Chain A
Amino acid sequence: MAAVTPDHLHDHHHGPSGLMRWITTTNHKDIGTMYLLFSFIMFLSGGVMALTIRAELFQPGLQVVEPEFFNQLTTMHGLVMVFGAIMPAFVGFANWMLPLMIGASDMAFARMNNWSFWLLPVAAVMLIGSFFVPGGATAAGWTLYPPLSVQMGMGMDLAIFAVHIMGISSIMGAINIVVTILNMRAPGMTLMKMPLFCWTWLITAYLLIAVMPVLAGAVTMILTDRHFGTSFFNAAGGGDPVLFQHIFWFFGHPEVYIMILPAFGIVSQIIPTFARKPLFGYASMVYATASIAVLSFVVWAHHMFATGMPAQGQLFFMYATMLIAVPTGVKVFNWIATMWRGSMTFETPMLWSVGFIFVFTLGGFTGLICAIAPVDIQLHDTYYVVAHFHYVLVAGSLFALFAGAYYWLPKWTGHMPNETIGKLHFWCSMVFFNITFFPMHFLGLAGMPRRIPDYALQFADFNALATVGAFGFGLSQLIFIVVVVKCVRGGEKAAARSWEDADGLEWTVPSPAPHHTFEVAPVFK
């Protein structure tokens, strides 16, 4: 399987150097690195917004920010984390790892790849810059519901254009991934022999192509309602505000799986490595991923149970949503069966992965509880929902991203990440995450609405606790910077197969992966 000939080992990059190298690069590894750096910067920006929110909520009353700015923060925290941090981070992993995993020399459309990335900083500048325009950033919530979003100032227009640009970037990235996976696999690697990470990304890419245009349509209708006299969402002109919610969530629910399916893929790579056992139920993992993707298109209105849809509507969306628990359960069972009777060690990537299964599944259970339409009537738009989606997005997507980062850092940098600091990062994150978000379940059950800057006195203690946890969680993420910087600068040299029992083509190339890999396709047995 060894595919890299010696004269390629030390090949040097030809072409522009310095800044121009990064601006003009068409190399999937460079672009992957830029995606990952970009998403981490956005993650820190969104994190600062979250901490400002938590500082305001530390005590009842208004102390830190005014309500209008508070709403801007909650809105932008959501938009920045979803579109700026989580999604680009997964695309970064796809760029770096997919060609290495399938034995391709690069992504299929290398120039388009460059363009997909460089659109993102432009969108990010518009989005974050909207804080500084008259009226400030949009404060309509990340879901941008009209008519509230129609009332907003020009910050809303900037957000709309930023969403357009990020959508174009995502669609191009997704097309690139689909074409790369379908056409550029090494000889012998049939679809059902691909690493599971490739499968989850293939399915995710189809989801992206299907729903990003829907979002673009929805925000464009808001734009024309705002400036060009249309009334898509204005009842006085014959429109319907709830129509927007249907369109938005038709995008929004598949979007949830766009942010978690690649996470499933990463964890499915890591657990077999450290359990020293092949992944249990590979085929059922693929089918489960595909079922989740298909079901994700018919559950959108479970975000809208409180809008007052007819009983038949509530029943259909409740049943369909509950059904998603079946393939998701299959995945969790398969991971545990992979661990069962393995020979496990718990290096940092494995810790993050096992942590992921544990905490993500908690979010899965609360998701099931929210799926029960009548119970959701009590829970909708409360802190219970905030707790639920942070369990699946932070403890789910983000934890899996960290797992993947620790797992592939040796391949990226040529050095093993420091185990002690990495484990410290994990345990701090795990503990502070739960201190932050677990009390929010109680807040929601007891009746605290979300998106409020100030609250009744009975919610004070849990809010104070959540704020303490949030600052702990935020500071813990700085540990990750230490790990990465140390790992880039030096440390224990990583072997080509950096982890004892790691399997896959990416471990057949040297560490760090040379600039060009698999110029001759390897033969996959």
Chain B
Amino acid sequence: MNLSGRLAGSGLSLIVSGSALAQSRYNFQEPVTSVAEQLYDLHTLMLIICAVIFVAVFGVMFWSVFKHRKSRGAVAANFHESTTVEILWTIIPVFILVGMAWPATRTILYMKDTSSPDITIKATGYQWKWGYDYLQGEGEGIRFVSNLSTPREQIEGSEAKGEHYLLEVDNPVVVPVGKKVRILTTASDVIHSWWVPAFGVKQDAIPGFIRDTWFRADREGIYRGNCVELCGKDHGYMPIEVHVVSAEAYSQWVAKQVASKAALAAN
């Protein structure tokens, strides 16, 4: 394809993506857990503080760049130190940093509290798919493997790309809304990382070790993420899809899983 063709193609996909996804293209995805909410607000706070400092500092610099020019007849002053000023601009940033660190510390402690979950699911990273074991709570004993379901033809370009290109799987994780879900991560070969941006959850899956994280989704819906630790050839092709459903729908899903497992065992 020539360049103009390519540009037209990307313009087309721009329109497709614009209509398909209601999420922000300039900021974090819309949070659906209290953790993601806190991360969103924390980031906004940081961005505002940085923007204010940016405007102040570079306001001074560009003022100087435009005013203190030789071509405008500026004559160089000869000052080259001022202990007071230097101490001030060392101390003031420290206070600003304390102001940033305070809410961040609270969030860290909150994120790290994985105690008393309603449901515990183990996510195991394989090259290149995720395995899930429901270890505790309703649905205990359910286990399945979750593979990318985007057809190869879409990746190679012989077929039009679907709405959830590369973010869709055959067997999604299903969890009930409003319940605390603890995710244990591990891996069987190399390091992977389990990430669902809308939940504010990212945890490396390390072979031979168990790590944990948690989320409590406040809204039903389908949430998508990726493996985010380079894990080899198909690192870009092992997405995560989580369906957050009502308590009843979850019970039905569990019953169906148990039944199909029993049917499998009977055969």
Footprint of B on A, CB under 8 Å? 58-63, 67-68, 71, 139-141, 145-148, 151, 234-236, 240-242, 275-284, 306-308, 310-311, 314-315, 318-319, 322-323, 325-326, 329-330, 332-334, 336-346, 354, 357-358, 361-362, 365, 368-369, 372-375, 377-378, 380-382, 442, 445-447, 449-464
Contacts and interface: CB of A to CB of B under 8 A. Distances in A.
A334 B70 CA distance: 20
A280 B185 CA distance: 52
Given A314-B108, A446-B26, A458-B25, A341 B68 contact: yes
Contacts of B39: 374-375, 377-378
Interface residues of B, number: 105
Contacts of A145: 190-191, 229-230
Contact of A446 (B27, B206, B237): B27
B125 to A, nearest CB: 11
A396 B133 CA distance: 46
B208 A235 contact: yes
A61 B232 contact: no
Contacts of B79: 277, 280, 341
- Top 5 A-B residue pairs of the complex, sorted by shortest distance between their CB atoms: A235-B208, A452-B236, A308-B211, A464-B10, A343-B76
Given A336-B61, A375-B42, A460-B14, A343 B70 contact: yes
Interface string B1-26: 00000110111011011001101111
A78 to B, nearest CB: 11
Nearest to B205: A308
Instruction: Tell me whether chain A's interface is mostly helix, strand or loop, or mixed.
Output: helix
A307 B231 contact: no
Contact of A455 (B38, B163, B229, B236): B236
B156 A61 contact: yes
Interface in B63-88: 64-65, 68-71, 74-82, 85-86
Interface in B171-202: 185, 189-191, 193, 195, 197, 200-202
A343 B101 contact: no
A330 B86 contact: yes
Most buried by A among B27, B100, B107: B100
Given A71-B230, A375-B39, A447 B204 contact: no
A307 B208 CA distance: 13
Contacts of B58: 358, 361
A330 B54 contact: no
Nearest to B234: A67
Contact of B228 (A61, A334, A382): A382
B77 A341 contact: yes
A308 B104 contact: no
B227 interface: yes
Nearest to A283: B81
Nearest to B97: A322
Interface string B30-48: 0000001011001100110
18 contacts: A61-B154, A67-B236, A147-B189, A277-B77, A306-B204, A330-B90, A340-B60, A341-B76, A374-B107, A378-B197, A447-B29, A447-B225, A449-B236, A452-B236, A454-B155, A454-B236, A454-B237, A457-B13
